Amino acid sequence: MTKHLLGDTATLTGRSLRHVLRSPDTIITTAVTPIVMMLLFVYVFGSAIETGHDSSYVNYLLPGILLITVASGVAYTSYRLFLDLQGGIFERFHSMPIARSATLWAHVLTSLVANLVSLVLVVLVALAMGFRSGAGVLAWLGVVGILVLFTLALTWLAVIAGLAAKSTDGAGGFAYPLLFLPFLSSAFVPTDGMPGPVRVFAEHQPVTSVVDTLRNLYAEQPVGSEGWLALAWCVGLLVLAYGLAMAAYRRRLA
């Protein structure tokens, strides 16, 4: 059964990836908005922002930009999933001897690959803007691991939105609140100077933990309990989103 699922998922993922490769503007568009934001914050606002860190502002800013890149990318996953449902692709696949969950996993893995490409593009631009890190291989593996978990968690949330949406606008629009979360975190400025209620929210939402962990990893700083908290947020959201997505999938195609 597992072998059957893996084989079907690999085949359908190849199909989805070919669609993305035929339309590379999706990946480019996903990366362009975060890159423009990074340019704006570093070269326009950066000189007026005091972070309390010795490193350049692009080093401080990059984790938040990476999370915004992921949030932008998963909106396309929800959109593509909605189009497949509307086009009857799922029913067609289910009339064949294909594992039922393979169609969802194909969209999720395609999202992971596309988002990783977008993240690489953003990091390359950050390097051109002066981003530097002396972190070792293990630290960078930690960065990649956190980003992969975060991407998977948001992608399964996107699956829920794609299954529940009634229109293409609704399918892609779910990502807007996710795009704003980094602004209410430590992604762009330290939380110390925020008003009381805003600071409480900023310090206890998942983006701040993930951002601080990524920043500490590539800055060669101790991660401490913040790293475990970020991991717990990512895994917890992933498990919850996966369970809700599979339940919504079964109801949709029952």
> What's residue 153's pLDDT?
95
> What's residue 94's pLDDT?
62
Q: Shortest CA distance to 16 belongs to which of 66, 71, 90?
A: 90
> What's residue 95's pLDDT?
64
Regarding predicted confidence, which is higher, 165 or 185? Answer: 185
Helix axes 57-86, 102-128, angle to 10 degrees: 150
> What's residue 1's pLDDT?
46
End-to-end, the C-alpha distance of the chain in Å comes to: 21
Helix axes 224-252, 102-128, angle to 10 degrees: 140
Q: How far apart are CA 74 and CA 158, in angstroms?
A: 6
Q: What is the three-state SS of the chain?
A: CHHHHHHHHHHHHHHHHHHHHHCCHHHHHHHHHHHHHHHHHHHHHHHHCCCCCCCCHHHHHHHHHHHHHHHHHHHHHHHHHHHHHHCCHHHHHHCCCCCCCHHHHHHHHHHHHHHHHHHHHHHHHHHHCCCCCCCCHHHHHHHHHHHHHHHHHHHHHHHHHHHHCCCHHHHHHCHHHHHHHHHHCCCCCCHHHCCHHHHHHHHCCHHHHHHHHHHHHHCCCCCHHHHHHHHHHHHHHHHHHHHHHHHHHHHHCC
Instruction: Tell me the pLDDT tens digit for each residue of 95-108.
Output: 665 666 777 888 88
Give residue for tokens 């962990």: 213
pLDDT class of 216 with cuts at 50, 70, 90: very high
pLDDT at 28 over 80: no
pLDDT at 214 over 70: yes
> What's residue 25's pLDDT?
67
pLDDT at 53 over 70: no
Regarding predicted confidence, which is higher, 5 or 251? Answer: 251
User: Distance from CA of residue 232 to its chain's centroid?
Assistant: 16
Q: What is the CA radius of gyration of the chain?
A: 19
**Of the candidate ranges 4-8, 36-40, 130-134, 144-148, the one whose mean pLDDT is the lowest:** 4-8
* Residue 132 zone, left/alpha/beta (φ > 0; ψ -120 to 50; rest): beta
> What's residue 217's pLDDT?
93
Instruction: Tell me the pLDDT tens digit for each residue of 63-76.
Output: 999 999 999 888 88
Phi/psi at 188 (nearest 5 deg)? -110, -35
Q: How far apart are CA 153 and CA 155, in angstroms?
A: 5
Q: How far apart are CA 7 and CA 98, in angstroms?
A: 9
Regarding predicted confidence, which is higher, 8 or 159? Answer: 159
